[in-house]
Structure 1
Amino acid sequence: MKPIRGAGPPPRILACADGKAEATFVVGTILQMEKEDKLQASSSVAVIYRTNAQSRLIEEACVQKKVKYIVRGATGRFYSRAEIKDCLCFLRFLYNGRDESAFIRAIKTPSRGIGQVALNQFFAYHSAVTSAVESNDLESGNFSLLEVLISLSSEKNNEFPTNVDPNNYIAKRAMNNFVSFSSKMRHISEVSTAANVTSLLTEVIDHLELKQHFQAISKTQDEMDDRMSNVNELLLASEKYEGIACSQAPDSALGNFLDDISLLSDAVEEDTSQGNSNNVDECITVNLMTVHASKGMEFDAVFLIGNEEGIFPTQRAKDSGNDSVELEEERRLCYVAMTRARTHLLLTWRKEISFFGQSGQIHYRTAYRSRFLDALVAKQKRSEVKDNDSKATRQSRRPQINSNMNGTRGRRQKSFSTQTRRTSEISKASAVNRIPTRERRKPLTRYGGSRVQSSQGSGQYQQYFGKDTKSYRTTKKETIDFDKFNVDSTLFYPVGKTVSHRVHGVGTVVPPLPNKKDFVRVKFADSGFTLDFPMSGSGLE
């Protein structure tokens, strides 16, 4: 079988500052490719990731840029997943104590032995309290479902200025279950007055035993890990509201957090309804999916995101060893994801990863490029060296061929000294070419490369190219040939990083041009210019 389409653009590997910068870059690149006619309205585009939790930032970037998207697989959109709704229903009930749908879901998460009959009894008791307040014209007004629920665990016989006894409406067995849930909600309500959104959400998960609930409804350990990854991603989503105490005021941090989630959900539902009524070929629809969900499918452009050690491959596969079955399975999945692309393939990784620790705090760690991407870089470098060696061999053999042609068929031959000197040069070139390519120019990677030492003493070169290796001696000018290592500027200036220049001011790093990988491309906010700077000695801070 022979391909008939011909060679397409080579795959690109880019580093991004963090997850938000990665999502912004991917969505922006899709729009740019559509603007440059590299992608048509009928083109198929996919963003592939290792775990379902990685879809949140991509979804938010698509909504912000007004790009239509579809989440493939059984899990669906991030904020429509069961474990996310289970966590949010308690926050919605705390923020709006009259939200009946949030109250019903909170009662059943997890199961507390309160059925529909017991719920009807509680609603009857709430209606009786409301009627008593209205008939007595009390200034306290109507009491919400949350207030009535919390009153059941009060030390007082009745917190309301009415004579309505809950035992007359709720059965004794159901009453015991309501009192247990009431005491927990009282504690959560007291915490919400001083805690921020992240702390409140953590307290809800721990105090209401939601982890045990997720463990009970999960069929496998992988499903449980996937659910907890989504929950941790929800905690990361509340990071921007950190430092602001929650309250039930309309402009509170909790209210803003819930409003932002509602806006995202409403925007997706609106786009879905318009897509069903209008022509679907008017704009590109981005497919979001995991590697497992992408099996058997092909797309014109594929963006494989989150290629870091510990993410892809997973930490469990790393801990199992280099020759383990788990690591080989991760390598096979990476091959599956890369081969989904027909024409365009772009692979990204993050320099910094945020995660939610066991201490209840959000932490940040430096990430390293996946070993699968390192293998691609090394293979591409070996291919370039092989092409250069073939060209050098042809050039070295050309004088010998010309000499044979000039020394025969009656033509005057060269002098003995000239011919001897040329033969010696040919012998030296042949001897160099007989040295194995792997010995002459080894590709340098983080798993077996050399340590780079620049005149500036920067430690990021040593951190990337390894520690247990020999030092690399630079030239007399103390300059580094970055082409030798086959890296681009995003390795040291990731996409989305904020930099400053003494002349042009503050700017943001954008992807470099394909033919200028050793240049840092920066877009400055004040002037609006996009300029290229050499990677070594760029003057950027």
Structure 2
Amino acid sequence: MAAFEDLILAGLDDEQREVATTLRGPLCVLAGAGTGKTRAITHRIAYGVHTGVYVPQQVLAVTFTARAAGEMRTRLRELGAGGVQARTFHAAALRQLQYFWPQAIGGQLPGIVDHKAQLLAEAARRLRINTDRATLRDLAAEVEWAKVSMHTAEGYVQAARDRTPPAGLDHTTVSRLFQSYEDVKTDRHLIDFEDVLLLTVAILDEDQRVAAEIRSQYRTFVVDEYQDVSPLQQRLLDLWLGGRDELCVVGDASQTIYSFTGATPAHLLGFTRRYPGAKVVRLVRDYRSTPQVVHLANRLLAARRPEPGVPGQGVEWPPPLELVAQRDSGPDPEFAECADDVAEAAHVASRIRALVDGGLAPASIAVLYRTNGQSEAYEQALASAGIGYQLRGGERFFQRREVREAILQLRAASRTPTDEPVPQLCGDILASLGYTPDAPAAGGAVRERWESLTALVALAGDLAASRAARGEGFALADFVAELDERAATQHAPTVQGVTLASLHAAKGLEWDAVFLVGLSEGLMPISFAEDQAGYDEERRLLYVGITRARIHLSLSWSLSRTPGGRAHRRPSRFLDGLRPAPAGPTGRSDAGARRRRPAGPPLCRSCRTLLATAAERKLGRCANCPPDYDEAVFEELRAWRLKVSQDAAVPAFVVFTDATLMAMAEARPADVSGLAKVPGVGRSKLERYGQDVLDIINPGGPGA
């Protein structure tokens, strides 16, 4: 046993070893990107199990994605600690809710809603409120924020007073829709994912027998990605603990990118105040990225300064962990300025083709963007270059038709004993579904089907090699059981092809080569970042993107949306001081041109008198001064607004007021970023109507 314990600790650095051998809590691990936090905590659990300090069935490790939980379970099995539970907060809570519901509540547990949109639409119809798909999406996000922040429909108006209500609605209307949605769920005997946590919290809070049983079951807790814990998840964790302190948390405040969902780093940052005797270990040795990538990531965080002229300049910015690269030197990050979005996508596809031709596997390359709407240009460019790709965040792997068919065939074949190696057998069986050792020449659905089947064959090979290294057998039945478990937890294998994903979806992943695209003002930071907290979150999001790269890193932006359009875009302010100085006659940086003017009293831009009314302030001129907008553009905007309001069956002013349309016609914004600065244009309206407005204001221009 001692020899195996030594093997568990072998290969850990000093800080990771300190984590692994600190078996009693409270323990706070501040772990930077790429520093081996999963390795440290899984080896800690395994070391505790093998030394007899932990009983496997009494350890609960929780994280935030099914993929991360699946990876943790796999590592624990390989370390001989397979009895440990590793789940997401929702999965752990649902399991407890299903078990305790009959005795605590009685009857059958309600069904769980996969998507809120249909029920929210019914809730809106009951209130005779017209909604479209975008409104329902925004409402769903707002309801989720309220519930994980532990706010009821009755308390929403007060709790959300500092938030911009979604979809152009007012707080009272959102509150009514929230309550109506809750009523629809009750009528249909349904609950949503947030209810799973809320109901588990309620049962633990009110039924001491249930609470005592769970606390006797689980004695030790490990929480990964602790910077993303919501108030509701923290409340559930507190009830699980029941006043005990056998807790290990792992996180990095610099990777907080889900504040809009209710996540907060406050629990991580306040851990030592809550547990004064807690041990703190910092993991800063970056094993993922080259020194060049690490240096850029460090500089991005170090360059943070309060944004001039924006609210909330006193927002706390905790000192970031300064990473220390452990890998050999690599190429410098590349910076590319392109004429337009099409040219940028073509440039990226060309660079990817060069990397693939040089021997880099497509699956080890990613293109990351701020919004999912940016993916289309890169899908087309990669397809034109004959490069396979996968969209992360699309259909789940185990829900694909070919994957379901493959598992059925593998399960049927597993009933017949054979000595043939599982990887070879798997390939032979799946050949009837379209698997071949070499990629097909065709693209589209044929290529996607082949990539899915190839991922299954590759997984069979990886598992067979892993079991052989441990001296264990591996039969086809074992592989089918592994697939069933992975399907239950959505722990998908790696699919061949370049990954296209949003920066948010890339959290927790890594690739040899990463292309960060669309890094222009209005996209990074996003146009609706309006205060210091918003700009800080955008900076952290770019940091997450940078730290996904192991070796190759490319950062690019375009000057225009469409070919031939006006070059109105500017590189992201976050690149100031990071990218090379722009070439030009003067060689001067354009950073100074982007400095904002200090805020002051609102004055008429013509006569400089104080603006007295909201309409005057929105227009930027007083009522006595003549307008300087194009009346034809204003009338086009009014005609467009009338059609939109009639289609949505809402008053015209709900879309935009006359004052806002006048302000648009006078400001003549050239892009989304400029339009966002027009008073009366909020985040939801910008997303819904922004491009239509720009097409009217700039016919034939970059928005056309």
Do Structure 1 and Structure 2 share a fold, with TM-score over 0.5?
Answer: no
The answer to which structure, 1 or 2, has the higher relative contact order (CA under 8 A, 6+ apart) is: 1
TM-score (norm: length of structure 2)? 0.25
Q: TM-score, normalised by structure 1?
A: 0.32
Structure number with greater Rg is 1
